[in-house]
């Protein structure tokens, strides 16, 4: 029989890789939680129209990358290519703005985009996503950026710098679009890629984002949006940058940064790593003040970002894989069939005393069970053979030093207590370093 494989661009995450994901999620919950972001779990699927109306009909995501199909009644559904649209839908549907003036949401999980898979680019990938709704002040933009950089620092990436730009607002953007269109009209269309020739008319700002080298060359001298934004947008941007300066956060102003989704206004940003290949953008986001209204909700401003977990994992793999590898406390080796029930209940008692470990099943030699113990990385191997069972003892062997002692089964919980204290002590010391 032929074997069934995963879908191209989708992946299974086994340990220790999956531990990196747990570590990222735990860190995200801790850091974002300390700024008041509460977890929101939204569905993986939405009506297609939601993404068309928010991400923008002219974007690559909507035009080429969505997993869209009809349900059994012919309604068009789409697997979420990002989380922002779903968060907005939930916010509007639950009338959140009537209950609190500012709402902060953390969302994480898989997203789906039909892109060409390569290193750091998957068709099912995972994002850590934050959205702050209800505040228009530039201090919020600064707080969101500081929070993102703090999160990345907590993961161990201190050297990353955000690229930042402003995209203006609905008042000043049309004039910039006009200036950009005038510039683009002077370019020989034959020197632009097919997408850009189309975008020139439908959504000229997308041309700034094109990765095709000949297009990049052509738009070298394009007008910069920062020179065209209104006084309020300029003030807003300066205030954000001023706060980052005060906190001594290094950043790069990138006038070409327009982002791949259409809902952005004012502050936009991306964090790019040079260490993981061509797909280096590890996080991206920005302000989207018109989005809630565009989706039929009240006129509420918003800002947010998403981090790509596959790309963060690529960066973490080298540095952290060992640290997040949790070491079990014990491996229970059973050498006599009659001892199996007693050993099983002793192992259960150890776990109820908050230790972690496995027990061996089946009739295997001591040598093979010790090999298995060391394979699991356990710190101790507990051994129960015929003699120990008869005496109601267990041998406790330290796997690194080889030292071993025999203890009475009746005192195993005390041993567990001491072991747990030692562990907590170690963790406290590591934490205070
Ligand atoms: P985005 O820039 O499309 O923004 O995606 C954010 C991050 O998701 C990227 O920087 C990247 O790390 C990761 N990512 C995107 N596509 C893939 C892929 N195919 N494979 C692996 N990783 C990928 C958004 O999605 C916005 N919703 C962010 C946002 C939230 N803006 C405001 N709030």
What are the structure tokens assigned to 226, written together?
């920062």
Pairing of strands 330-334, 357-359: parallel
- 280 pocket-lining for ligand 1 (C-beta < 6 Å): no
Residue 306 alpha carbon to ligand 1 centre in Å: 6
The answer to whether residue 323 scores a pLDDT higher than 80 is no
Look at ligand 1, atom 31, and give the residue with the nearest C-alpha.
285
Cβ–ligand 1 distance for 115 under 6 Å, the answer yes
Pocket probe for ligand 1: among 306, 307, 310, 311, the residue whose CB has the most ligand atoms within 8 Å is: 306
pLDDT at 120: 96
Percentage above 90 pLDDT, the chain: 80
17-172+229-322: CATH architecture: 2-Layer Sandwich (3.30)
Task: State whether the beta carbon of 52 lies less than 6 angstroms from ligand 1.
Answer: no
pLDDT digits (tens, 9 = 90+) for 82-110: 999 999 999 999 999 999 999 999 999 99
**Residue nearest atom 21 in ligand 1 by C-alpha distance:** 121
Residues 152-200 pLDDT 10s: 999 999 999 999 999 999 999 999 999 999 999 899 888 989 888 888 8
CB 81 less than 6 A from any atom of ligand 1: no
Q: Token pair of 125, please?
A: 């990938």
The CATH topology of domain 327-432 is Rossmann fold (3.40.50)
> Listing from the earlier edge strand, what are the strands of the sheet with 357-359?
357-359, 330-334, 380-384, 393-398, 404-408
For ligand 1, atom 11: residue with the closest CA: 308
pLDDT confidence band for 432 (50 / 70 / 90):
low
Number of H helices, E strands in the chain: 16, 16
pLDDT tens string 107-164: 999 999 999 999 999 999 999 999 999 999 999 999 999 999 999 999 999 999 999 9
353-377 confidence digits (pLDDT tens): 999 999 999 889 999 999 999 999 9
- Give the model confidence (pLDDT) of 163-175 as tens digits: 999 999 999 999 9
Confidence grade of residue 321 (pLDDT, cut at 50, 70, 90): low
CA distance 212 to 114: 19
Q: Where are the domains of the chain?
A: 17-172+229-322, 327-432
Does the C-beta of 157 come closer than 6 Å to ligand 1?
Answer: no
Query: Is the pLDDT score of 322 beyond 90?
Result: no
Q: How confident is the model at residue 324 (pLDDT cuts 50, 70, 90)?
A: low
b/e map 235-270, b = 16+ CB within 10 Å: ebbebbbebbeeeebebeeeebbbbbbbbbbbbbbb
Q: What DSSP line would sit under 43-60, residue for residue?
A: -SEEEHHHHHHHH-TTSH
Q: What is the mean pLDDT of residues 207-215?
A: 87
CA of 370 to the centre of ligand 1 (A): 46
Answer yes or no: are the C-beta atoms of 322 and 144 closer than 8 Å.
no
> Looking at residue 423, what is its pLDDT?
86
Distances (CA, A) of 419 to 55, 326, 376, 426: 53, 15, 18, 11
Contact criterion met (CB below 8 Å) for 105 and 130: yes
Instruction: Tell me, using a 6 A CB cutoff, whether residue 124 lines ligand 1.
Output: no
Query: Among 135-144, 274-283, 402-411, which is the least confidently predicted range?
Result: 274-283
Whether 396 contacts 415, CB under 8 Å = yes
User: What is the edge-to-edge ordering of all strands in the sheet holding 67-70?
Assistant: 45-47, 76-79, 67-70
**Do the beta carbons of residue 326 and residue 427 sit within 8 Å?**
no
CA of 308 to the centre of ligand 1 (A): 6
Phi, psi of 362 (to 5 degrees): 90, 165
pLDDT at 433: 56
What would the pLDDT profile of 215-244 be if each residue is shown by its tens digit?
888 888 899 998 999 999 999 999 999 999
Q: Which of 36-40, 187-191, 218-222, 316-320 shows the lowest mean pLDDT across its residues? A: 316-320
Ligand 1 centre distance from Cα of residue 284 (Å)? 6
Following DSSP, what letter does each residue of 193-231 receive, concatenated? -HHHHHHHHH-GGGGGG---HHHHHHTTTPPPGGGTS-H
- Cα 97 versus chain centre, distance: 26
Structure tokens at 206: 């997308």
Whole-prediction pTM: 0.92
| Mean of per-residue pLDDT scores for the chain | 94
- The answer to whether 139 and 74 have CB atoms below 8 angstroms apart is no
The tokens for 168 are 């203006």
Greater pLDDT, 327 or 301: 301
């Amino acid at each position: 029989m032929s074997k069934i494989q995963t879908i191209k661009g989708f992946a299974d995450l086994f340990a220790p890789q999956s531990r990196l994901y747990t570590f990222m999620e735990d860190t995200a919950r801790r850091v974002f939680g300390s700024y008041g972001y509460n977890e929101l779990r939204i569905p993986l699927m939405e009506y297609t129209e939601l993404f068309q109306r928010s991400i923008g009909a002219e974007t690559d995501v909507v035009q080429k990358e969505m997993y869209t199909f009809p349900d059994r009644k012919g309604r068009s559904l789409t697997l979420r290519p990002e989380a922002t649209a779903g968060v907005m839908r939930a916010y509007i549907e639950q009338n959140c703005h009537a209950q609190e003036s500012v709402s902060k949401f953390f969302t994480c999980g898989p997203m789906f985009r039909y892109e060409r898979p390569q290193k750091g680019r998957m068709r099912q990938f995972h994002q850590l996503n934050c959205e702050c709704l209800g505040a228009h002040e530039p201090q919020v933009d600064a707080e969101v950026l500081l929070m993102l950089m703090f999160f990345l620092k907590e993961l161990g990436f201190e050297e990353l710098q955000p690229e930042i730009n402003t995209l203006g607002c609905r008042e000043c953007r049309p004039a910039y679009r006009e200036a950009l269109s005038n510039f683009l009209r002077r370019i020989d269309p034959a020197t632009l890629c097919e997408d850009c020739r189309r975008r020139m008319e439908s959504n000229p700002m997308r041309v700034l984002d094109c990765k095709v080298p000949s297009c990049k060359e052509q738009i070298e001298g394009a007008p910069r949006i920062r020179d065209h934004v209104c006084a309020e947008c300029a003030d807003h941007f300066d205030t954000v940058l001023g706060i980052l300066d005060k906190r001594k956060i290094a950043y790069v102003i990138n006038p070409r940064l327009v982002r791949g989704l259409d809902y952005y206004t004012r502050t936009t940003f991306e964090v790019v790593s040079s260490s993981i290949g061509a797909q280096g953008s590890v996080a991206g986001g920005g302000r989207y003040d018109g989005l809630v209204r565009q989706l039929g909700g009240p006129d509420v401003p918003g800002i947010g970002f998403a981090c790509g977990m596959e790309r963060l994992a690529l960066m973490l793999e080298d540095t952290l894989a060992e640290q997040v590898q949790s070491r079990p406390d014990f491996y229970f080796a059973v050498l006599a069939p009659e001892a199996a029930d007693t050993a099983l209940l002793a192992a259960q008692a150890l776990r109820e005393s908050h230790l972690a470990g496995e027990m061996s099943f089946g009739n295997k030699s001591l040598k093979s069970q010790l090999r298995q113990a060391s394979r699991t990385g356990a710190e101790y191997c507990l051994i129960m053979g015929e003699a120990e069972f008869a005496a109601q003892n267990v041998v406790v062997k330290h796997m690194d030093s080889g030292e071993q002692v025999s203890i009475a089964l009746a005192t195993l919980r005390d041993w567990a207590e001491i072991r747990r204290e030692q562990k907590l002590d170690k963790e406290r010391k590591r934490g205070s370093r």
